[in-house]
């Protein structure tokens, strides 16, 4: 293809679909629990499995981006996702559904790593931050779409209707991508060994900071989708009520992204914006703790979504500035790091089953990490200035 830049609408759709799949599945948790006669923690296990397998998929597809190209990798991943969702629809056992949903996560990983690689091919610096902010604003709508659609489908046809809808939507996305998705892979790309890039990144403190911060932000947000359905069930609220709470979360996410764009235009440093986001997460944890015995505990979750929309564009835009010669591989490894953190974190959160505690721990750890980052940066600057003057 001659066109070398992806349309914003297609890029947003590709970034949205993994989160859309996850949020569509969340309202179906109670249906799956009752249909297969499994425990609450077993039903929620699929969400942590999703992120763990997603991490493996990110490494695979990120590497394939540099081998067979961004376009073909993306289309193959969506095709695998369609086949896996179809398998889930027909699965007679809970174990089979878990395997199918895991395979769906493997294919869905292209929506994250391949799309981010395409965007990084085309933009950098402040332009890339603005693009990620626009994408985050749009992605903020996916919880509304996913949870409303998932809750409606679950209420009328159970979990099988959810997977049927996934197959239809992913098939449409595959057709759209087949016609409109460009190939942005540079003609002369540096093909370093996966192990060489991994060795460099493992020793890079900035990479670990990004991975931990992104992981904690996602654990805070997605723990709501794995724990809240059972909290609402315990409080006597319907699955449709849970779906309607997505409006509050989406409003927070969109507001956070719009606020981030405004702060960037005012030349506020990214680290300061991220610091603000951690304080909001702590406030959300306190709010959920105070309201957890009522159905209104979802309202403080808007602050978690707002925090998410503030932090992630600033984290992602600076994540791979030293790895531009191997964005596909580096992006894959970064994804592996933070998706494994998300997967294990959500698995632990599901077993504990305490949403407020999860938010407070994530917010506290994030706050400490930002303080360490600012302190390290200040120390390095002072050391450099002293070396220059002497």
Note the pTM of the prediction, 2 decimals. 0.76
Residues sharing a CB contact under 8 Å with residue 389, sequence separation 6 or more, in sequence order = none
* DSSP string computed for 257-280: HHHHHHHHHTT--HHHHHHHHHHH
Q: Is 118 within a domain?
A: yes
Alpha-carbon distance 211 to 201, whole Å? 11
Residues sharing a CB contact under 8 Å with residue 5, sequence separation 6 or more, in sequence order = 122, 182, 184
With contact defined as beta carbons under 8 Å apart, do 77 and 105 qualify?
A: no
State the total domains in the chain: 1
Alpha-carbon distance 151 to 181, whole Å? 31
With contact defined as beta carbons under 8 Å apart, do 322 and 192 qualify?
A: no
Alpha-carbon distance 315 to 213, whole Å? 8
Residues sharing a CB contact under 8 Å with residue 79, sequence separation 6 or more, in sequence order = 107, 174
- Tokens 């407070």 appear where? 360
Specify the CATH number for the domain of residue 55.
Answer: 1.20.1250.20
Q: Is 2 within a domain?
A: no
Structural domain harbouring 251: 10-380
pLDDT of residue 124: 65
pLDDT of residue 112: 83
φ, ψ (nearest 5 deg) of residue 141? -80, -20
In sign, the C-alpha dihedral spanning 292, 295, 296, 300 is positive
Q: Which two tokens stand for residue 317?
A: 């835009």
Q: Is 389 within a domain?
A: no
Alpha-carbon distance 97 to 101, whole Å? 6
Q: Is 157 within a domain?
A: yes
pLDDT of residue 7: 79
Q: Is 80 within a domain?
A: yes
Q: Is 4 within a domain?
A: no
Count of beta carbons in the 10 Å neighbourhood of residue 254: 20
Residues sharing a CB contact under 8 Å with residue 23, sequence separation 6 or more, in sequence order = 142, 143, 145, 146, 147, 150, 225, 246
Q: Is 352 within a domain?
A: yes
pLDDT of residue 106: 95
Q: Is 390 within a domain?
A: no
Run means of pLDDT, 10 residues per run, the chain, 390 residues:
67 87 85 85 79 87 85 95 95 92 93 84 68 68 82 90 95 94 74 77 92 94 87 86 84 83 85 92 96 94 90 83 75 85 88 92 95 83 61
- Tokens 């629809």 appear where? 89
With contact defined as beta carbons under 8 Å apart, do 343 and 106 qualify?
A: no
pLDDT of residue 1: 38
């Amino acid at each position: 293809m001659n066109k070398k830049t992806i349309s914003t609408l297609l890029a947003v759709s590709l970034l949205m679909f993994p989160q859309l799949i996850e949020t569509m599945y969340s309202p179906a948790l109670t249906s799956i629990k009752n249909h297969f006669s499994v425990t609450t923690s077993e039903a929620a296990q699929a969400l942590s499995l999703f992120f763990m397998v997603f991490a493996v998929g990110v490494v695979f597809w990120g590497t394939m981006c540099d081998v067979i190209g961004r376009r073909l990798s993306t289309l193959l991943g969506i095709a695998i996702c369609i086949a896996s969702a179809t398998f889930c629809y027909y699965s007679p056992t809970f174990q089979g559904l878990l395997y199918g949903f895991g395979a769906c996560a493997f294919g869905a990983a292209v929506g994250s790593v391949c799309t981010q690689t395409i965007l990084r091919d085309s933009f950098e610096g402040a332009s890339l931050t603005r693009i990620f902010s626009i994408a985050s604003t749009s992605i903020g709508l996916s919880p509304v779409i996913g949870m409303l659609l998932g809750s409606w489908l679950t209420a009328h046809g159970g979990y099988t209707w959810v997977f049927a809808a996934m197959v239809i939507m992913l098939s449409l996305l595959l057709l759209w991508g087949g016609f409109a998705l460009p190939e942005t892979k540079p003609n002369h790309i540096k093909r370093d060994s996966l192990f060489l890039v991994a060795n460099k990144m493992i020793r890079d403190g900035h990479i670990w900071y990004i991975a931990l911060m992104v992981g904690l932000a996602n654990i805070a947000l997605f723990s709501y989708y794995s724990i809240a359905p059972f909290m609402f069930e315990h409080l006597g609220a319907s699955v449709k009520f849970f779906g309607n709470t997505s409006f509050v979360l989406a409003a927070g996410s969109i507001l956070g992204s719009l606020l981030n764009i405004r702060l960037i235009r005012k030349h506020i440093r990214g680290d300061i914006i991220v610091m603000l986001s951690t304080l909001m997460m702590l406030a959300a944890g306190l709010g959920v703790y105070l309201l957890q015995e009522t159905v209104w505990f979802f309202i403080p979750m808007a602050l978690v979504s707002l925090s998410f929309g503030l932090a992630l564009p600033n984290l992602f835009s600076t994540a791979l500035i030293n790895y531009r010669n191997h964005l596909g591989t580096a992006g894959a490894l970064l994804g592996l790091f933070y998706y494994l953190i998300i997967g294990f974190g959500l698995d632990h959160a599901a077993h504990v089953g305490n949403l407020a505690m999860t938010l407070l721990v994530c917010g506290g750890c994030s706050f400490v990490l930002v303080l360490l980052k600012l302190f390290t940066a200040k120390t390095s600057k002072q050391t450099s200035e002293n070396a220059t003057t002497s």
